[in-house]
Each structure stands twice: as C-alpha cells, then as structure tokens.
A and B are shown apart, each in its own frame.
Chain A
C-alpha cells in the first residue's frame, strides 16, 4: 500500500468541504485502504455529519464525529472538539479531515496533536466559483489568504442540479489561474457522476477529475 494520505478540507461555508472530504474518504476506502474521516466542525459540531455517520461507517470508513446524544447540554453549538479528534493524526492509515466553517479557517488544525509536524498533511481549499464570494480569481486569492495554511485548491464549481460540464470547466480555468498566482497546485476538479464522465479523467486545465456522489443532501447544514 502506498504512503498514507492525510488531507484536510477547508474553504467557504457551503463551498463543498464536507461533500468532498467524505467522498475522498469513501474513494480511498473503495481501494481497500484503511480510512478515518474526522469532523472538525467546532461551530456547529452536532449537525454536520450527524445523520449520515452510520451510512459512512457501513461503507467502510472510520468516522470521528459527535453524536447528538453525546453532546446533551450543548444546545445548538458550543466550541468543542471531540477528544478522539485531537488524536486523529495518530490513527493508522489515511486520514481525511473535514474542517468546519468559522473565522478560524485552517487554524482549527492547531487543536490536533501533530498537525504542525505531520509530513503527509495536505490542506486543500474547496472552491465553487458559482458562489459570489469566490467567483473570480481575485476573490479566490483574497479568500484563500484568509484561511491560513493552504497547500492546494480543489475546483468544486457547481450549480446543484443545474450543473453542466461547461460550468465545471469554466470553474477549472478560474481556480487554476488563482492557484497559479498563489503558487499552489490544483488537487482536482470534482463533479457528480455524469458530469465527471462527460469531462473525462482530466479537466481542460489538466487537473484530475474526481467523481462525487452527493451525500450531504441528507445531512444538516
């Protein structure tokens, strides 16, 4: 088995962090790899992956996330880290971190033991150019600058059910240009099945294409 994969997904609220993180975890699990998916949302820890935890576990992914019954008294939120998440990087195998939204951006990773020194950690900013806050090259550069450490961008441009291959390709052009100016690579372009096949194994900018299955529609927020 090739070297361990450690990836943290960050980016705009509703930009597609969780969807891309859990799809990445499932894709790695399908390859027979041992994968741990960690929910690091400290703003709304009760909600993000809660309803689909069991489904993900059944698909072969180890999930570290709060369950509602474990957080009685927190109410809606509460800035809290599940103790297991703190030690997530010590797990064997691949580790996929879903960094929740909030002003701290990737600085949330400071809460994890070993995050500063993990040689394999890659922080990936998920970008949807259909979101006005990250629509243009300048917007993306400004946004990524606010996130803290970012090692790569991921083009997740879509318009829900109205997504076309052309829209995703246009997103790829914008995200790749922003990445070039930031001196960062583009980890991938992500698109749902159907659109992904239409685009092919690489997008118009030569970035690898990942096929997404939408799970987050079943989740909260």
Chain B
C-alpha cells in the first residue's frame, strides 16, 4: 500500500515540472508513460525518482505516439495513467489522444508548451492552444486547464485526474516552458484534507464477472463500419460534452463592471495582465481582466456577456491569436471592438501589456 504523499500542508520551493510530479503522486496516479522532450523532462525525472518510494510505475516508450497509446492502455487496465509532452511531441500525441476521445477514456496529459512550429525553441510559447483544445481528427471533446502558477499546476494536475475519471474525456493540463522551469513557492497538501475526494479508477477491460451475463461486455471501439453507427456514438458523446461543459468551465475576472477596457489572456501571460491591471487601477485607470482557466470547454456564456458589453477588449497571447480564434467563435455576433497584442513564442511583460492598454485608452 502506498504511503501518504503529503501528511500536512507544507510550503515548498520547486520548479513547475517537479510540482507536476508531486501533484500526480498526490492524485494517486499509478503510472507515467513518457518520452523525453524539453521543457517537460523533469516531470519524468522527478516521477522516476519518487515512484520507487511510493510503489508507482514508469515506462519510457520509444516516442510520443507510444507514450500516448500506452497511457490509453494503462487507463483501460484500470490504472490512473498520465504522460507529459511538449511541442512536436504534442503533435504526435494527437493521434493517441483522438483515440482516447473516440473511446471516452480518462487519459491525463501535461503539456509544457515550447516554441513552434516544429522543433523551434525548447523554451516557451502559448502556441499549443489550438492543438491541445481541438487537435487530432475529431470534435475536440477534451478538457483543457490552462495554469498560471505553481500552485495552480499542483491544484489542476490533481483536479485533472478527477475530471478525467469523472467525465471520461481526455484531460490536459496546459502549462508552458516558463512554468515548467521557473521556481516559486507553493503549498503542497493532501487533497483529502481539502475535502477533495479522489475518484477511484476502475478497469475498462478485464473487469470482474462474465461479459453479457454479470456485466455488459467491454467493447471499446475507435473504428466503425458505417457512418450511422459513428454518428449515433458521436451524437451521444457530443451531447454529454455539451451538458457537462457549464460545470467544467472555469474563469477568473476582475474589475469588468466599470472597465473602459478589458484585457484577456490565459496561462502565465495572465500574470502579466493581472499585474498590468493592478498597476493601472492604482493610477486610477478603469481596466479589468478576464481569464479563461479552461480553454476547452470555454466559459461561453461569460465570454458572450463580456463581448456583448461594448467594452473594448485587448487580447494578449504568446501566440498569433490561438485563444483569440476560440474567443471569436464563442462570441460570434457580439460587437465589442477587439485589439490584440500577439508575440508568438515570446514572453510578455506587465509593462508591455500596460503600454498596449494605454495606447487603446488614449
């Protein structure tokens, strides 16, 4: 029996990758499947250092396709399984994760975004939003949490396992190279001490009883012979996804009511936005922020309300507008004036956000 990971709340100083490894342990994950790619490597490094102490397992596969498919295999065998990747690794991960989408399997993937296209840089970007939310062939029936701090990496990695096993849609924690490698304090805690009940895993194949007699046969398919068969399955899955979306979607906002400008962004960029908004508020400027925490599903009613308020919006991203595209779809028909500050593959400071905001408010 594995021992408790965290006995009592503890303030700790770590890199984001280490945080993910500890959070996966706290979430009672059983096994990580992985293939190395910067900037997520230390998730594997720390998991493999911690795993033997807590009776956990690890398998290094030959590539990300394999890491994704073995994660699916682990899940089907009833193990809380996860993998972590970035950039071109995430590209390969789309094939297995669309299979998990088709089969409604609770896979968990941590993505630490790096520069793109292709190998680009190992450092940082927000350029994996499109791929992580709606990548692969399919309909994007996934859940994607975009974190902005080490505390959130801990909180949402734990939550990702519960979300995945509760709703049975592939779940992603979307971090980035800055969050992966930077160091800051956070509080480690035992989820149960916070009233978070860890949803137990269960086998999808090899369950007890005689198939067809004691239980329905386990029949997980990613291939259908006829369009109608597929359509029926997809219609059902899409209805479920639509139904759960309002309870899964999360966002954070401040100062919108009296704002003359609302700044929108996610992930680590949100921290620059929040700092800029706080600095401008102190100077008496009426600005607010809106941050989607889930990028899939998005908090659609709140986005519609925001974008119908006739307040100008400033979208800020370390990509060429990948979140903005999703926002436009969610807000279709609304009339807000939209400004942008896009720096694909590069970090954005609070000062840059403030300068862009001041330009609009002139």
Does A55 count as interface, using CB distance less than 8 angstroms? no
Beyond A131-B14, A158-B13, A160-B184, 12 extra complex contacts between A and B, CB < 8 Å: A14-B13, A44-B38, A75-B119, A76-B121, A77-B122, A132-B188, A133-B49, A159-B11, A160-B13, A160-B185, A162-B185, A221-B181
Hey, what's the 0/1 contact readout for B12-40 against A, CB within 8 Å counting as 1?
A: 11110010001000000000000000100
A14-B183 in contact (CB<8A): yes
In Å, the complex CA distance between A25 and B318 comes to: 36
Q: Given A132-B22, A159-B185, A162-B185: A14 and B123 within 8 A (CB)? A: no
B185-A132 in contact (CB<8A): no
A162-B11 in contact (CB<8A): yes
With a CB–CB cut-off of 8 A, which chain A residues contact B358?
A: none
What are 24 of the A-B contact pairs (CB < 8 Å)? A13-B15, A13-B18, A13-B45, A14-B18, A44-B38, A75-B122, A76-B38, A76-B121, A77-B122, A130-B13, A130-B185, A132-B10, A132-B12, A132-B22, A132-B188, A133-B18, A133-B49, A135-B12, A158-B13, A159-B185, A160-B13, A160-B183, A160-B185, A220-B181
Does B152 count as interface, using CB distance less than 8 angstroms? no
Q: Which parts of A35-76 form the interface with B (CB within 8 Å)?
A: 44, 75-76
A13-B42 in contact (CB<8A): yes
Does A176 count as interface, using CB distance less than 8 angstroms? no
With a CB–CB cut-off of 8 A, which chain A residues contact B183?
A: 14, 160
With a CB–CB cut-off of 8 A, which chain A residues contact B15?
A: 13-14
Q: Which parts of A184-221 form the interface with B (CB within 8 Å)?
A: 220-221
Does A10 count as interface, using CB distance less than 8 angstroms? no
Does A128 count as interface, using CB distance less than 8 angstroms? yes
Interface size for A (C-beta < 8 A) is 18
Which of B11, B13, B45, B184 has the most chain A CB atoms inside 10 A of its CB? B13
With a CB–CB cut-off of 8 A, which chain A residues contact B14?
A: 14, 131-132
Question: Count the A-B residue pairs with Cβ separation under 8 angstroms: how many?
Answer: 49
**Chain B residues near A (Cβ < 8 Å):** 10-15, 18, 22, 38, 42, 45-46, 49, 119, 121-123, 181, 183-185, 188
With a CB–CB cut-off of 8 A, which chain A residues contact B123?
A: 220
With a CB–CB cut-off of 8 A, which chain B residues contact A160?
A: 13, 183-185
Minimum C-beta distance from B246 to chain A (A) = 37
Closest B residue, CB atoms, query A143:
B49
In Å, the complex CA distance between A75 and B11 comes to: 35
**Chain A residues near B (Cβ < 8 Å):** 13-14, 44, 75-77, 128, 130-133, 135, 158-160, 162, 220-221
Minimum C-beta distance from B272 to chain A (A) = 16
Which of A44, A77, A160, A221 has the most chain B CB atoms inside 10 A of its CB? A221
With a CB–CB cut-off of 8 A, which chain B residues contact A77?
A: 38, 122
In Å, the complex CA distance between A190 and B67 comes to: 42
Closest A residue, CB atoms, query B121:
A76
In Å, the complex CA distance between A76 and B14 comes to: 22
Q: Given A13-B42, A14-B183, A160-B183: A130 and B122 within 8 A (CB)? A: no
In Å, the complex CA distance between A75 and B121 comes to: 8
Minimum C-beta distance from A218 to chain B (A) = 12
In Å, the complex CA distance between A132 and B46 comes to: 11
With a CB–CB cut-off of 8 A, which chain A residues contact B10?
A: 132, 135
In Å, the complex CA distance between A53 and B256 comes to: 44
Minimum C-beta distance from B185 to chain A (A) = 5
Closest A residue, CB atoms, query B42:
A13
Q: Which 4 A-B pairs have the closest CB atoms?
A: A76-B122, A130-B13, A159-B185, A221-B181
In Å, the complex CA distance between A135 and B188 comes to: 13
Closest A residue, CB atoms, query B22:
A132
Selected contact of B13 from candidates A44, A76, A131, A221, CB within 8 Å? A131
Minimum C-beta distance from A42 to chain B (A) = 15
With a CB–CB cut-off of 8 A, which chain B residues contact A158?
A: 13
Closest B residue, CB atoms, query A216:
B183
Minimum C-beta distance from B287 to chain A (A) = 26
Minimum C-beta distance from A138 to chain B (A) = 12
With a CB–CB cut-off of 8 A, which chain B residues contact A13?
A: 15, 18, 42, 45
In Å, the complex CA distance between A159 and B10 comes to: 11
Closest B residue, CB atoms, query A159:
B185
In Å, the complex CA distance between A160 and B13 comes to: 7
In Å, the complex CA distance between A159 and B14 comes to: 9
With a CB–CB cut-off of 8 A, which chain B residues contact A221?
A: 181
In Å, the complex CA distance between A135 and B5 comes to: 14
With a CB–CB cut-off of 8 A, which chain A residues contact B122?
A: 75-77
Closest A residue, CB atoms, query B123:
A220
Minimum C-beta distance from A66 to chain B (A) = 15
Which of A132, A159, A160 has the most chain B CB atoms inside 10 A of its CB? A132
With a CB–CB cut-off of 8 A, which chain A residues contact B185?
A: 130, 159-160, 162
Closest A residue, CB atoms, query B114:
A76
In Å, the complex CA distance between A121 and B202 comes to: 56
In Å, the complex CA distance between A13 and B43 comes to: 12
With a CB–CB cut-off of 8 A, which chain B residues contact A76?
A: 38, 121-122
Minimum C-beta distance from B45 to chain A (A) = 8
With a CB–CB cut-off of 8 A, which chain B residues contact A159?
A: 11, 13, 185
With a CB–CB cut-off of 8 A, which chain B residues contact A14?
A: 13-15, 18, 183
Minimum C-beta distance from B188 to chain A (A) = 7
Minimum C-beta distance from B296 to chain A (A) = 29
